Structures are given as structure tokens and as C-alpha cells.
Amino acid sequence: MQRHLLLALVLATTSTAFAAPPGKAYVYKVVGDRALRLYVTKPADWAAGDERPAIVFFHGGGWVGGAPGQFDEHAKYFAGRGLVCFQVQYRLLDRKKSDPPTICCHDAKSAMRWVRSRSKEFGLDPDRIASAGGSAGGHLAAFVGMVEGTDDPADDTDVSPKSNAMLLFNPVFDNGPGGWGAKRVGDRFDEFSPYHNVTKDDPSAIVFLGSQDKLIPVKTAETFGEKMQAAGVKCTVRIFEGEGHGFFNHGRSGNRPYYETVTDCDRFLAALGWLEGEPTLAKPE
């Protein structure tokens, strides 16, 4: 049963993951003989010296699958709204082993540090960098914002990997007993699970979940939101009735969930002062 659920997760979260990502590719990290890349989508009116907000996207795939490209349309839209967008390639776990997602977490934090340390090059405000992701990518997006430690030993830890806002699409952020990924994490869940690391200095978040998600209970998302609010952190949780895992992806259900989640993210960022005006995404017919 667990194997079937994992396969469903990989398929649901990576339906668009293998399209060639838009934007220019940059190597942010080399591990052995492997170069890891991220893909940058800039606004049409971008100029050196800008101080724009940014979003760093992490794809889904259960830590074992997927590739940059899942958030192509999100990146294009938010670049059109004036943000600089990044889609991150990270190392994947071996499906046949039960390793915890250490290398995924290492790469996620390395990518955030790479982006922040190059704020001037990319015309960014280093204090307005959001992390975003779906499913396992949602875990990584929450991880970089909320969990201390599990840094790549080669990273410059003087540069913060902490995001300033989080856009979380059906995130598997509870990795404790009974949560997703618990078999891989075991009794080390405090090192990996955002759900178990809520503190008052966490970034504001918006969370999206389908009521029929077979991997993440609605109660998990609701309790996460309650814990964040209790800590004094702004957190909005939106439950989409009748929707399953990966419902938010572009191309699903006539793009209605895509439209709703993107416009919600737009308004969320506007409330933080990162965007101005109403969302510009056309409503699907």
C-alpha cells in the first residue's frame, strides 16, 4: 500500500515536471562531478540594481522523483507581476533505500543561500525571498523557512537560508510518527519535520490542501495553521473540497485550482507588501 501511495505522489506532483524550465540556467552547487542547477525567470522590465521580491520553487516527487519545471507557469505569472523566480534542481533519494532526505535538505538550503548571496546580481531584496513548493517540494519550502540545522557542510553558514514567506502546496511537512516520510526519518523527525519546529520567528505562510488528499490529512494542515497562529505567525490554510494530491498543478481540472491558488498567493504576497494591485491572472472559463 505504501508503495502505491508513493507512486501516486510522484505522478500527482510531477505531471508537468519534465518540461524544459523557462529562464536561464545557473549552476548553484557542484557535488562530486554533478552540477546542480536552478532556472531563473525575470520580469520583462528587470534591470540591474532593482530590489525586487523573489520566489524560490521546489518541485515535488516524494524526494525520489521530479525535476524543475513543475512551477513553470507559476514562475511566468509571478515574473509578470514583477518578481524574480527560481526553480531548483536538487538531488533525489534512492527509491530502494530508506535514507532520510538529508541531501534534499542540504541542496534546498544551499540554493536559498546561493540566491540570497547574489541579491545584487539578480536585483533582489534579500529580505523578501519566499520559498514555495508542492508535496515533497512543499516540505523543502517549509524546511528552509522553519528548521535549523541540516546544512551542507560546504555551505557558507554566514548566509541565511531562511525564507521570508512560504507558499506551500499540499506540503508533506509532518514527518513525525504517523506523518508522511516517517519511515525514512524515524526518531530523527525533529531534524526534518517543519510541523514539529514551529517557532515565533517563522515566516508567514499560506497552505493549500485538497480535502481528498490521501497523503496529508486535513487535520494536519489545520493543526499546523493553529500552531503557527499560536506562535504569533501569520498562516492561512485553504482546503479545497473534493480535490486530491497535486490538484494545484497547471493543467489540472480546467486550471480552476491553479487559478485560485495562484491568485490567493498573489493576494497573500500583496498583504505582505511585496506586490501591488489585484492579481492579473485570467480566470479560466
The 10s digit of each residue's pLDDT in 4-49 is 444 445 444 444 434 568 899 999 999 999 999 999 999 999 998 9
Q: What is the mean pLDDT of the chain?
A: 94
Q: N- to C-terminal Cα distance for the chain?
A: 38
Q: From CA 70, how far away is CA 53, in angstroms rounded?
A: 21
Does residue 116 register a pLDDT over 80?
Answer: yes
pLDDT in tens, 164-220: 999 999 999 999 999 999 999 999 999 999 999 999 999 999 999 999 999 999 999
Q: Which pLDDT belongs to residue 265? A: 98
- Among residues of the chain, what percentage have pLDDT more than 90? 92
Q: Which pLDDT belongs to residue 192? A: 98
Q: From CA 109, how far away is CA 103, in angstroms rounded?
A: 10
With CA atoms as reference, report the closest residue to 57 among 174, 185, 144, 155: 144
Q: Which pLDDT belongs to residue 20? A: 63
Question: pLDDT confidence of 285, banded at 50, 70, 90?
Answer: confident
Distances (CA, A) of 80 to 11, 73, 84, 259, 275: 28, 11, 9, 15, 11
Average pLDDT over residues 143-154: 98
pLDDT in tens, 223-251: 999 999 999 999 999 999 999 999 999 99
pTM metric for this prediction: 0.94
Question: pLDDT confidence of 52, banded at 50, 70, 90?
Answer: very high
Task: Count how many residues are written for the chain.
Answer: 285
Q: Which CATH superfamily is domain 2-271 in?
A: Alpha/Beta hydrolase fold, catalytic domain (3.40.50.1820)
Average pLDDT over residues 152-165: 98
Q: Is the distance from CB of 204 to CB of 235 less than 8 angstroms?
A: yes
In order, the DSSP letters of 68-114 are TTTTHHHHHHHHHTT-EEEEE------TTS---SHHHHHHHHHHHHH
